[in-house]
Amino acid sequence: MKGKVGILLAMVVLFGVIASGCIGSQETSETKTTSVELTGDFVKDVVAIGKALESNGVSEVKFSAWGSGDPNSVMRVYGIVEAARRINKVWEENGVNVRITITDTHYVASFQDAYQEYLSKQPLGQAGDFFVNSYAFLPTLADEGYILDITEYANAYKNVIEDFYPSLIEASKFNGKLYGLPQDTEARPLYIRKDVAAKIGFNLEGIEENVKSGEFTWSDVYYWAKKAKESGVEWGLIHRKGSAHPDLIQFIFAFGGKLYNEDSGKLVVDVPAVYKWLYVEWKFAQDGLLPKDIMSWDWAKQIHPAIVEGRTLFDIGGTWYWTEWQTKEYYGKEGTPRPLKPEEVQAWFAYTLFPAGEKGLKPVTLSQPFVWMINSKAGQQNPKYDELKDLYHKLAFLMIIKASDPDINAIHSVISAHLPVRKEAAKLISDEKWLNDLKNLNLDLDPQVKDNIKDIVATTVHPINAKFLADVSYMLEYTKLAPAHPKSPALADIFKEAVDKVLRGEMTPEEGVNYIIQKINADPELAQNVEVVGEIPKDWKFP
């Protein structure tokens, strides 16, 4: 009997041990880490997140990267690919059995189209995890809750954040909260064809200083454009088309106007400045110096060929034109279209700030920073998303921290002629050895990244292009930003319509101003967000 009782007690104890073990395992499962506190130590944070994911049974994290822009700006998506490789390497070196896979690098030419696609796909859960686009769209995306507030995460990475130029960090905020990290920025020079200038006796020596001092104004641009036309050159001025928001609103600033009232938080239609802008456009077009239908011209077939073939004296463009002309077959003057050589771009083009509208005012340029933004549902295609959301979101933040590494940003700047957003990246651009390594792709980069930028690198990495970036960097001291306001794109579209009608001669400049005001008042929501100030100036003359 005692023997049976002993066996029974042993079984009870054994069952208890087994049960205890089971319960212990259950407790371990319930206490698995689903959140990690960011410390600012990149390797430590990445490893902690990796181990937390691994302990939750996750071995692969899938992300997608959406970007847009000119053909040379593909690092806007491949920067994310490279960031994934660098984090995977950290995990491998620290024994973390998790890998990041970039499932989609969606890159389209039109940043406006990319934005519309992102808007339409976001509610369906089909938008990219990472979205790089103009800061102008950031307020709307933030307001709709479509992108992640990274303010708290960034507080742990002040050492990185402080290396960005402060104005660009400010452009990445909405209502005081940080919603992204700057990816690039640019200036918008006034390009001048040297050969056309020489033909009409336009001495370009000292032009930069004359523009800086406000001595050379838009009246001078008109004077020389007319001279060029009279000499047989097809056009005096070519400018960009589409939304007036990124480029042509420089006229408002050049005529001393403003676009935003910081006190009221409303957009501003500065009537005197807008009228002068429309008048300049109208005058150039009516006198045959600027195509009346320029707002509908084809980029590749009309706008760029007219510039690179010397069929205009002036062009309002962007710094990125400099290398785009070297990679796209815009030049067809010899029969078969081809890209320009760096030496040709340097020999044919001078560049300066956007001149003051009239004497007594200041020159300007305009920047439109692109920003890495994170989908507020980033990582949702991965296992246990609801449970592990905090880990996926913090990993996504560390991805854009890594994609902002100085060398990645410097590569993007050199091959796309955009300006660096970090001080450390600016130092690399002036490093001759680093430039040579980039030229030979002798850098530690993902093979997919190398393969996708090798042709661009071959044609753009050149001391002439590095010098151009150094030459135009001073323009950021004069730069303006369009207001980061949710209604700013809507107002820009109305400006665009007015410019088009004035250029075509369908409206006078005064009618153009009234058209803008009428369109604003017809939209109650827009009317609530826009202040109309000032009056059309009497007896104002141009040129």
pLDDT band for position 489 (cuts 50, 70, 90): confident
Most confident of 1-15, 217-231, 461-475: 217-231
Percentage of the chain exceeding pLDDT 90: 81
DSSP states of 438-472 as a string? Answer: HHTT-S---HHHHHHHHHHHHHH--HHHHHHHHHH
Structure token pair of residue 365: 């340029």
Choose between 483 and 95: higher pLDDT: 95
Domains of the chain: residue spans and CATH: 42-185+368-405 (3.40.190.10), 190-366+483-533 (3.40.190.10)
pLDDT score of 2: 42
Q: What angle do CA 240, 132, 125 make, to 5 degrees?
A: 120
How far apart (Å, rounded) are the C-alpha atoms in residues 327 and 459? 6
Rounded Cα distance, 399 and 242, in Å: 33
User: What is the amino acid identity at position 397?
Assistant: F
* Mean pLDDT computed over 330-353: 96
Please tell me the predicted confidence (pLDDT) of residue 145.
95
- Indicate if the pLDDT at residue 333 is higher than 80: yes
pLDDT at 9: 44
**pLDDT, tens digit, 9 for 90 and up, residues 297-332:** 999 999 999 999 999 999 999 998 999 999 899 999
Is the pLDDT at 27 greater than 50, yes or no?
A: no
pLDDT bracket for residue 506 (50, 70, 90): very high
Residue 267: what are its φ and ψ, rounded to 5°? -70, 160
Helix (DSSP H) and strand (DSSP E) numbers for the chain: 25, 16
pTM to 2 decimal places: 0.78
CA 79 to CA 420: how far, in whole Å? 14
Does residue 63 contact residue 102 with C-beta atoms inside 8 Å? yes
3-state secondary structure of 241: coil
pLDDT tens digit string along 227-268? 999 999 999 999 988 665 568 999 999 999 999 998 999 999
